[in-house]
A and B are shown apart, each in its own frame.
Chain A
Amino acid sequence: MSALFRPMARPDLERLAPFDTELSDHDRPDALSVPWSRPAPEPTRSKRWSARWISVATIIVVLAAWALTAALGIVSPVFLPSPAAVAARFVSVTTEGFVDSTLLEHLGVSLARVFAALIASLIVGVPVGIAIGMSTVGRGIFDPLLEFLRPIPPLAYMPLIIIWFGIGEPSKVLVIAIAMLAPIALSAAAGVKGVNRERINAARSLGATRRQVLAHVVLPSALPSILTGLRIALGAGWTTLVAAELIAATQGLGFMIQSAAQFLVTDVVIMGIFVIAGVAFVLEFAIRRIEAVLVPWAGRD
């Protein structure tokens, strides 16, 4: 700085006063100021609440109808066990287990598979997405492959994976990872394509090399989009879990449900469905929290 700044021609205290505080009335974002300072419109409080109450009421009505149907014996418990029976199963599987493992063990194995698959698809999907977003060659190579892969249901490619990779743990993880790959790669590509051109120019005129632009501008710009892709991918992976655990599994939530179905232990099947739904809900919530911490600027500019 020494070379850049000569002493002020006229050091004038009044002129040098900071004006981030005193100018508050005119210098602060508000509804009338520049567009990027405007907060997104939120639904009114009353609307939000009424929707929430309708949801709660819906759940209560469905549960009541279920309990009533079971209590009146309209449907055999083999087809529809009562909510109480399902709750009791939840307790007994948690403490004593089902098909040789407790609920927590089944859950742990399933989560481990989904997260192993997530890491694998991130390692492959993010670079592929960046290649698609940044180069014509990358787009030419990977776009058709992803578009081919994306609509195929996991149950369709699973037999091929068993033929190629056997019935071990890698095959299960791979089935889930393939389901996650497209959302991650495509959202990374969208994030990279959406990078603000002026920010790249700004970095270049501040002396950043091309590699530094990639690391310090392109990647952070794409991060919100990549996290959105991760959230979608986790949903897709969790959806694929039951299919993956068709492959000679001995543990896991999907395996637990299928074993129970074979013995017509319907309360375990229903309990398993609730656990899978509950975990999906918790994961979704967790990633939204992570987004809020990691990319707090997303949607604000």
Chain B
Amino acid sequence: MPTLSLNQVTIRYDGEPRPTIGSTSLTIDTGDFVVLTGRSGCGKTSLLNVAAGFITPSSGTAGIDGRSITTPGADRAVVFQNDALFPWLSARDNVSFALRMRGMPKAERNRRADELLERVRLPKAGGKAVWELSGGMRQRVGLARALAADPDFLLMDEPLGALDALTRERMQTLLLDIWAGANVGVLMVTHGIEEALLLGTRGAVMAPDPGRIVRVIETGFGRRYVAGEPVRSIKADKDFIAGRAELADAIFDGEPA
């Protein structure tokens, strides 16, 4: 089972006087659900982009089982905040994009795309154009598109950030169901403290100047949901409430209240 590791990664963008990310390490195993939080601009997206292979670190290494990450690849499918769907393709063709790139025959990839659309609970959306879909539906198409690549790792950058509160709650449990049924390691960026706590097996908190992980909290609430506990009861648990305070403290550490 593959392990993705970032090892003392630093990022210094061209023209920036100081590094955006300063020596940060992170390891994601298959089955992990790592949630990355932190204030805006502290470098969450930058770190995820290194794992995705969109940018190369200025120093340090990013690799999977010792093989260094140099380019994007279908072993690390990405879900974007603004979905980045292809509007010239139907929802089904968006989902089957990775399979088409591999040369899979049309009938077979359509069948698989429909399976995946069902898995993200959009059984009737296959023939729709993406602009006919709402924000929440588009994100689910984006999720199905990433899953179609059969990735080892799923990298999600604020996938629920643009959704309204109710859709967001539904999407959270959907993500957990998907994660429970798929053999993947997840790295997800979010602004939501409750979201981080509920979804993750591990929560990593970043702080800025330079961006780095300052706190890692083991959280098991996602596993409890998968084992059958209702979300409401999880959120009422005193461990959850304490965890929420702990996470908030870590995020806003050093900030005047």
Residues of A within 8 A of B (CB): 1, 3-10, 12, 15-21, 23, 26-29, 33-34, 36-37, 196, 198-199, 201-209, 212, 216-217, 220-221, 223, 295-297, 300-301
Docked complex Cα distance between A203 and B87 (Å): 13
Residues of chain B contacted by A20 (CB below 8 angstroms): 121-125, 137
Residues of chain A contacted by B134 (CB below 8 angstroms): 27-29, 33, 37
Asked whether B131 lies within 8 Å of A201 as measured between CB atoms, the reply is: no
Docked complex Cα distance between A26 and B146 (Å): 25
**Chain A residue with the shortest CB-CB distance to B82:** A198
Residues of chain A contacted by B130 (CB below 8 angstroms): 297, 301
Docked complex Cα distance between A17 and B97 (Å): 25
Pull 5 A–B residue pairs with CB atoms less than 8 Å apart, ordered by A. Answer: A15-B177, A23-B136, A27-B137, A201-B84, A295-B88
Number of B interface residues in the complex (CB < 8 A): 62
Docked complex Cα distance between A84 and B218 (Å): 89
- A-B interface pairs (CB < 8 A), number: 152
Scoring B residues 167 to 194 as 1 if CB is less than 8 Å from chain A, else 0, what string do you get? 1001001000100111110000000000
Asked whether B164 lies within 8 Å of A33 as measured between CB atoms, the reply is: yes
Docked complex Cα distance between A204 and B72 (Å): 6
Residue from A4, A26, A28, A202 with most neighbouring chain B CB atoms (10 Å): A202
Docked complex Cα distance between A208 and B53 (Å): 14
Docked complex Cα distance between A5 and B85 (Å): 23
Residues of chain A contacted by B2 (CB below 8 angstroms): none
Docked complex Cα distance between A202 and B54 (Å): 10
A158 to chain B, nearest CB (A): 39
Asked whether B87 lies within 8 Å of A202 as measured between CB atoms, the reply is: no
> Which among B10-18, B73-81, B242-250 touches the partner chain?
B73-81
Which residue from A8, A16, A28 sits with its C-beta under 8 Å from B180?
A8
Docked complex Cα distance between A9 and B118 (Å): 17
Asked whether B167 lies within 8 Å of A27 as measured between CB atoms, the reply is: yes
Asked whether B101 lies within 8 Å of A199 as measured between CB atoms, the reply is: no
Residues of chain A contacted by B148 (CB below 8 angstroms): 206
Scoring B residues 57 to 97 as 1 if CB is less than 8 Å from chain A, else 0, what string do you get? 00000000000000111101110101011111000000001
Asked whether A202 lies within 8 Å of B84 as measured between CB atoms, the reply is: yes
A224 to chain B, nearest CB (A): 9
B216: interface (CB < 8 Å) = no
Docked complex Cα distance between A202 and B53 (Å): 11
Asked whether A203 lies within 8 Å of B52 as measured between CB atoms, the reply is: no
**Chain A residue with the shortest CB-CB distance to B124:** A20
A261 to chain B, nearest CB (A): 48
Residue from B123, B180, B228 with most neighbouring chain A CB atoms (10 Å): B180
Supposing A27-B167, A201-B78, A202-B84 touch, asked if A33 and B124 sit within 8 A by C-beta, the answer is: no
B151 to chain A, nearest CB (A): 8
Residues of chain A contacted by B136 (CB below 8 angstroms): 23, 27
**Chain B residue with the shortest CB-CB distance to A12:** B228
Residue from B97, B102, B173 with most neighbouring chain A CB atoms (10 Å): B97
**Chain B residue with the shortest CB-CB distance to A201:** B54
A225 to chain B, nearest CB (A): 13
Asked whether B167 lies within 8 Å of A26 as measured between CB atoms, the reply is: yes
User: Which 9 A-B pairs have CB atoms at the shortest separation, nearest pair first?
Assistant: A207-B74, A297-B87, A204-B72, A206-B98, A198-B84, A205-B72, A220-B88, A202-B84, A300-B131
B26: interface (CB < 8 Å) = no
B217: interface (CB < 8 Å) = no
B162: interface (CB < 8 Å) = yes
Asked whether B177 lies within 8 Å of A8 as measured between CB atoms, the reply is: yes
B112: interface (CB < 8 Å) = yes
Residues of chain A contacted by B149 (CB below 8 angstroms): 205-207
B147: interface (CB < 8 Å) = yes
Residues of chain B contacted by A202 (CB below 8 angstroms): 78, 80, 84-86, 145
Residues of chain B contacted by A12 (CB below 8 angstroms): 228
Docked complex Cα distance between A26 and B163 (Å): 9
Which residue from A8, A34, A209, A220 sits with its C-beta under 8 Å from B135?
A34
B26 to chain A, nearest CB (A): 18
8 A Cβ contacts from B105-158 to A? 112, 115-116, 118-119, 121-125, 129-131, 134-137, 145-150, 155
Residues of chain A contacted by B173 (CB below 8 angstroms): 15
- Having A199-B84, A205-B52, A208-B97, one finds 4 other A-B pairs with CB under 8 Å, namely A10-B228, A34-B135, A207-B102, A209-B101
Residues of chain B contacted by A301 (CB below 8 angstroms): 87, 130-131
**Chain A residue with the shortest CB-CB distance to B184:** A4
Docked complex Cα distance between A208 and B101 (Å): 6
Residues of chain A contacted by B116 (CB below 8 angstroms): 1
